[in-house]
Amino acid sequence: MTSQLLQGMNDKQAEAVLTTEGPLLVMAGAGSGKTRVLTHRVAYLIEEQGVNPWNILAITFTNKAAREMQERVGKLLGESARDIWVSTFHALCVRILRRDIDKLGYNRAFTIADTSEQRTLMKRICSELNVDTKKYDPRAILSAISNAKNAMQTATDYAALNSHANNPLNQIVAKAYVLYQKELENSQALDFDDLIMKTIELFEKDPETLEYYQNKFHYIHVDEYQDTNDAQYQLVTLLAAKYKNLCVVGDADQSIYGWRGANMENILNFEHDYQDDEVNTIKLEQNYRSTGHILDAANSVIKNNQNRKPKKLWTDKGDGDKINYYRAQSGNDEALFIVSKINEEIKEHQRDY
């Protein structure tokens, strides 16, 4: 089975699949086959190492990515793939909280406030606080609260730091956050950011619950680790603390979610987090998606990033066509250019859509 699982893989991909014990950092460049590595690693643990499927956790960022991973593992393993926990951070936390949130004084049948419910509630709070919503958009206030929660700041923490801030928005957020959280609690509701924050609170207040999940998940995988925020990082660190079989996959050069609280230091400092253990670092640098000219251009741009781990993407696909450059004047101009190029390819080169 091992030879089948490693079939068609390059040396570095195979090494990532076979390195199962202890902390593992897989620095995966764009188009380097990281999803294949993750799915085959999970299959290898079950088929060759005899690990129970229910002792494996794989965390991705979107429902679509989770479904794709579950399907791909299913093709490799069949029925046993059903017992692997493959989910987003939020879905994982919902499952944990539905079982144990009563230990925090909440009802297990708590509701999850969606975006429209959050906005309705915040508009009401702004009205109570006599906030001019034309000047201070409720969405901006909710965004600030979300950022605070992702940085693990409670309403009390935020108020202590910002009640007398020079920035008027921060002062408003400090008051609004306290009322907002109180309303959610009275309604036995959580927002999306609470799901992770409350799970961490549960683990910290109830060591038995944390130990239950540490014993459950012997092997943990996290995709797109460069996009984790402080709360997600803390959650993973707590879950992996016992067995330390944590495999994180990502690429600091592809970090694009700083605006929603992602902390690139999480991937850059991974080796320091586990300096008392042997950390394996594997770089996936062979690109299967692009040709040489495209990768040369990408490498030339990426090397200017100040905070990064050095790596150089390469391909055996040859140089390919040279790159064309078009500087659009606006978003509409860019869209029109792309549509015209597609039409040109359809008419002149008989391509299909």
Residue-level pLDDT at 294: 95
What are the distances in angstroms from CA 15 to CA 20, 22, 30, 276? Answer: 9, 14, 18, 22
Query: Going by DSSP bridges, is the β-strand pair 56-60/85-88 parallel, antiparallel, or unpaired?
Result: parallel
**In angstroms, rounded to a whole number, what is the distance separating the alpha carbons of residues 64 and 57?**
17
Residue-level pLDDT at 166: 86
Query: Phi and psi of 59, rounded to 5°?
Result: -110, 130
**In angstroms, rounded to a whole number, what is the distance separating the alpha carbons of residues 56 and 302?**
34
- Chain-centroid distance, C-alpha 110: 24
pTM score, whole prediction: 0.90
Burial-class residue 238 by CB neighbours within 10 Å (0-12, 13-18, 19+). middle
Residue-level pLDDT at 1: 63
Dihedral angle at the C-alpha atoms of 72, 77, 81, 83, nearest 10 degrees?
Answer: -160
Query: Phi and psi of 283, rounded to 5°?
Result: -105, 125
Residue-level pLDDT at 310: 85
Burial-class residue 264 by CB neighbours within 10 Å (0-12, 13-18, 19+). buried
DSSP secondary structure letter of residue 303: T
Q: End-to-end alpha-carbon separation of the chain, Å?
A: 39
**In angstroms, rounded to a whole number, what is the distance separating the alpha carbons of residues 176 and 41?**
46
Q: Mean pLDDT for each consecutive 10-residue tract of the chain (353 residues)?
A: 85 96 95 94 95 96 93 91 94 98 96 96 96 94 95 94 86 96 97 97 97 98 95 97 96 83 89 87 95 94 86 93 94 97 93 90
Closest among 241, 245, 130, 114 to 179, alpha carbons compared: 130
